[in-house]
Amino acid sequence: MTGYAGTRHDARTPKGYRVARKGALLLLGLGMITGCATSEEDWNSTAVGDDKSVGDVDLRSVLLVTHEENEPARLLGTLENNGDEAVDVSISDADETTTLTIPAEGSIPLDTVATLLRTAGDAPGARTTLTATTEAGQVELLVPVVDGTLDPYKPYLPD
pLDDT digits (tens, 9 = 90+) for 73-97: 999 999 999 999 999 999 999 989 9
* Mean pLDDT computed over 14-33: 52
Put simply, whether the predicted model's pTM sits higher than 0.75 gets the answer no
Percentage of the chain surpassing pLDDT 90? Answer: 65
CA proximity to 73, closest of 139, 125, 146: 146
Distance CA 4, CA 19 (A): 12
**Domain boundaries 41-156, CATH class:** mainly beta
What is the DSSP-derived secondary structure letter of residue 43? H
pLDDT digits (tens, 9 = 90+) for 91-136: 999 989 999 999 999 999 999 999 999 999 899 999 999 999 999 9
Backbone angles phi, psi at 87, to 5 degrees: -130, 135
51 contacts 142 by C-beta, under 8 angstroms: no
Which 3 state secondary structure label does DSSP give 100?
strand
Average pLDDT of the residues of the chain: 82
75 contacts 93 by C-beta, under 8 angstroms: no
